[in-house]
Structure 1
């Protein structure tokens, strides 16, 4: 029996995920409040629908690709800002998965959310027989569109097994790190490191350039040694050295993720001096870098001449 999939949130990531699944011959339905996003999805083999209720009537698995934890909670549990139907007569009715989904549905949340939100949503949905997996992703829009992104997953073993065919089709690697909520703990830790590595790599490259070593050669040396990271191996070659700054992931989203790491450390009563310093640098960058800028542009704060658009 073919699994039918619904994707909620058809932006840079969700649109790519939906297109990838459609390419793997899953029947895919997509919902987004943006008509333009629905139209783009339709061009990739996804069947757009005009309401959450319409989508839920058709699918066995729902994938969420939303900006923040609060959007996940509102969509799943309801609230003033929950999505509404496109039908004019339904505009007064807030919709939610808790209210509309049928028992047996599997919800896969790819949003970088919080472990508290994942556990709260999972517990509430479980009262209706709905399963919830937190599976935040890395790899950006290109990874979503190619099916090569990585996932860190929080789920019960039996639920994960049921969802695995869909997860395998939409990602290149999957690491099951624990029960519900664990996926978001791992993703927050990952993005905290990425935020650190972008700045530390920028400082290393700038120092070497000042000392007469080209950025390209410095990165070649670092990537052959123990100082390599995702920043030196992927971010700098693809989006910084060529000054493209078009990764598809924004300053605003990384600032949000850095904030999630700071909040988690505070909740745990931990003092993390390096993480605190990096969080302060990302916060201070608001003075010169808008939330809409590419997140790799943070390196311009280290050396505007070396890394700036006009350099």
Structure 2
């Protein structure tokens, strides 16, 4: 049996830790916030010495946080570090190189599926790393992810996640804008979403996000606006380094940055629907 430790028990990490706990492979879990540890409600035998595990899964804000955590850590030869963050591929490569000098393997396994997917063990992973390492840890990954895509060498998973998120978040903001216009035109927003889902404009945003998290009135997408802003900031850096197209990436980042600047960074991002009109006007005016 492969033993696992989880670092980071927030919205995503809590669900991941529980799934591994239920599978009988979680031996340790920790979070800087003691309340997060309590809220995870893990088995009594799960301790906090994550470095004792063979496989360490990090569900923290960034690869830089992992690097900081491991800087003074007494790692053992053969341990595997799974980086479940959304980070820049350059950071992935740098950390992997340092860990290799300690005899440890590294896999960037960027995830999508949200907190609900983590709770259900139905995440999708985009992975970068050595095929033999990914094959070794697959029994662990099966417990948390329904779909797992090996995209290439170290950094490929994080690169794919940046592409994924720039498309997803840009589509969300475009949908917010379109449905705001529908509302202003006197159309029923729920009915407008039904039309989108019956036509070619359908997406995860219209099929799941709006009905479940916004139109239901729950306003709980289980992630903050600041998280989206961070992701699009990384996507901008990624696009600039590749001298690639970034029109929609840049615009979406400006909208999200405007929301954060206004003090809404800690607000659940479902509220971007009601904020869409004012944000768009401000960004439009600033660009003229």
> TM-score when scaled to structure 2?
0.90
Q: Partners in 2 of 1:47 and 1:226 — Cα distance?
A: 50
> Helix, strand or coil for the counterpart of 2:127?
strand
Question: Higher helix share goes to which structure?
Answer: 2
- In the TM superposition, what whole-angstrom CA distance separates every residue of 1:16-43 from its partner, at most 9, and x where no partner exists? 10101111222431122222222233x2
- Of residues 62, 65, 75, the one that matches 1:71 is 65
User: In the alignment, what sits opposite 1:87?
Assistant: none
- In the TM superposition, what whole-angstrom CA distance separates every residue of 1:178-216 from its partner, at most 9, and x where no partner exists? 111011111111111121111111122222333343212
Q: Partners in 2 of 1:46 and 1:239 — Cα distance?
A: 33
Q: Partners in 2 of 1:210 and 1:46 — Cα distance?
A: 54
Q: Partners in 1 of 2:244 and 2:105 — Cα distance?
A: 32
Tell me if structure 1 keeps the 8 A contact 2:182–2:189.
yes
User: In the alignment, what sits opposite 1:15?
Assistant: 14
Q: Does 1:177 align with 2:151?
A: yes
Q: Partners in 1 of 2:122 and 2:44 — Cα distance?
A: 19
Q: How does 1:150-299 map to 2 (within 5 A)?
A: 150-299=124-273
> Helix, strand or coil for the counterpart of 1:302?
helix
Q: Partners in 1 of 2:276 and 2:26 — Cα distance?
A: 47
Tell me if structure 2 keeps the 8 A contact 1:251–1:289.
no
Q: Partners in 2 of 1:134 and 1:164 — Cα distance?
A: 13
Q: Partners in 1 of 2:275 and 2:263 — Cα distance?
A: 9
Tell me if structure 1 keeps the 8 A contact 2:214–2:220.
no
Q: How far is the alpha carbon of 1:301 from its aligned partner?
A: 2.2
> Helix, strand or coil for the counterpart of 1:270?
coil
- Of residues 47, 50, 56, the one that matches 2:51 is 56
Q: Partners in 2 of 1:18 and 1:282 — Cα distance?
A: 30
Q: Does 1:28 align with 2:23?
A: no
Tell me if structure 2 keeps the 8 A contact 1:73–1:117.
no
Q: Does 1:127 align with 2:101?
A: yes
Q: CA RMSD in A?
A: 1.7
User: In the alignment, what sits opposite 1:302?
Assistant: 276
- Aligned residue pair count: 278
Q: How far is the alpha carbon of 1:144 from its aligned partner?
A: 1.0
> Helix, strand or coil for the counterpart of 1:62?
strand
> TM-score when scaled to structure 1?
0.84
